[in-house]
Structure 1
Amino acid sequence: MAREQISGIDPTAVPSGDGCVECLAGQGPGWWFHLRRCAECGHIGCCDSSPSQHGTKHAREAGHPFLTSFEPGESWFWNIETEEYYDGPELLPPQAHPASQPTPGPRGKVPEGWERDLR
């Protein structure tokens, strides 16, 4: 059975890359704990436990209410406005960052003692 269309989720949006767009561009400390994908436009940002929280910042600034995990094996949608989980449609691949990319990441950018920087 097909799932109904949910406003704010575009199943055809392509992920913006393999890592947090802003962290890779040098905004903030440059590393993340986990990655989140904007379900409306495909923007990849870092999670709220990461130092810069770029995923939620993007969603709020763009008015895109749904984030989904960009971690292997996770398939949930989170509405930042209602703070509720949703079931949603399958999005275009890739569904997660490459398995070769460590968590936290990216390789070579995560500082020693990174755990103390988690929120």
Structure 2
Amino acid sequence: MSECQHVADLPRPEPAPLSGTCLECEASGSHHVQLRLCLVCGYVGCCDSSPHRHASRHFRDTGHPVMRSHEPGERWRWCFADGSIV
């Protein structure tokens, strides 16, 4: 894993999750594969293996670049802007 400029700009401490699941998937009756947590605002969205890719859409809509896995026991982060694990 490497550091990127986007990681340096993240709020500390990281934001609390706004939900425990992808609320957009839940509202539409869809199922997520895995969850991602936005490290800028706390939004929780589904991963790109999920049908609707809400985490990626959140990045496109907001420009918030870094999310981390919101799965139990996982702490890895992904920078959408750089397209890499950070």
When residues 82 and 12 of structure 1 are mapped into structure 2, their CA distance, relative to the original with a 3 A threshold, is closer
Pairing of 1:1-119 with structure 2 (within 5 A): 6-7=8-9, 9-10=10-11, 11-26=13-28, 29-86=29-86
Please say which structure displays the higher CA radius of gyration: 1
Q: For the residues of structure 2 that align with 1:12 and 1:75, how far apart are their CA atoms?
A: 12
Task: Say whether the 8 Å CA contact 2:14–2:39 is kept in structure 1.
Answer: no
Q: For the residues of structure 2 that align with 1:44 and 1:36, how far apart are their CA atoms?
A: 6
Instruction: Report the AA paired with residue 63 of structure 1.
Output: G
Aligned pairs, number:
79
Shift of 1:76: 1.1
Q: Could you tell me the TM-score, scaled by structure 2's length? A: 0.83
Q: For the residues of structure 1 that align with 2:34 and 2:64, how far apart are their CA atoms?
A: 19
Q: For the residues of structure 1 that align with 2:18 and 2:56, how far apart are their CA atoms?
A: 15
The structure with more strand, counted as a fraction of residues: 2
Q: For the residues of structure 1 that align with 2:14 and 2:34, how far apart are their CA atoms?
A: 23
Instruction: Please list every run of at least 4 consecutive aligned residues from structure 1 whose deviation after the TM superposition is greater than 3 angstroms.
Output: none
Give unpaired runs (5+ residues) of structure 1.
87-119
Q: For the residues of structure 1 that align with 2:59 and 2:23, how far apart are their CA atoms?
A: 13
Q: For the residues of structure 1 that align with 2:14 and 2:48, how far apart are their CA atoms?
A: 25
- Percentage of matched positions with identical amino acids: 39
When residues 76 and 22 of structure 1 are mapped into structure 2, their CA distance, relative to the original with a 3 A threshold, is same
Task: Say whether the 8 Å CA contact 1:44–1:55 is kept in structure 2.
Answer: yes
Over the aligned positions, Cα root-mean-square deviation in angstroms equals: 1.4
Q: Could you tell me the TM-score, scaled by structure 1's length? A: 0.61
Give unpaired runs (5+ residues) of structure 2.
1-6
